[in-house]
Amino acid sequence: MRGVRPACAGGVRGGRIAGVIGLVGRVTGRIGAGLVGEVMVSVPERPGSEAFLAYRAVPGEPLEPGSMVVVVDYQPPRTVYVEPF
């Protein structure tokens, strides 16, 4: 697919969690076209939810707060690329 960033391997990389790919999160800061937003994701390896900077993996309509998304790529230390769930 055009615009989709390549997925990285799951697991822990350099002490940081790469296993967020495929997890579902909730948008907490609007993700606009080409603009960074924020999502909260519950990472199984750690207690509670964690905030990540988030971009759309494929350009499209903005994602508003409260929208559910799936993580399709992870870039250390705290950036994810998401699509609507």
Q: What is the pLDDT of residues 25-51, one digit of tens each?
A: 999 999 998 899 999 999 888 899 999
- CA neighbor of 33 nearest in space, from 53, 9, 10, 58: 58
- Could you read off the pLDDT of 56-74 as tens digits, one per residue? 999 999 999 999 999 999 9
* Dihedral angle, C-alpha 59, 78, 27, 41, nearest 10 °: 130
pTM value is: 0.78
- Using only C-alpha atoms, the chain has a radius of gyration, in whole angstroms, of 12
Q: How many residues does the chain have?
A: 85
Superfamily, domain 12-84: Nucleic acid-binding proteins (2.40.50.140)
Domain ranges of the chain: 12-84
Q: In sequence order, what are the residues at sequence separation of 6 or more whose Cβ sits closer than 8 angstroms to the Cβ of residue 40?
A: 25, 26, 28, 49, 50, 51, 52
- 55-64 burial, b at 16+ Cβ within 10 Å, e below that, comes to bbbeeeeebe
Confidence at residue 7, expressed as pLDDT on a 0 to 100 scale: 44
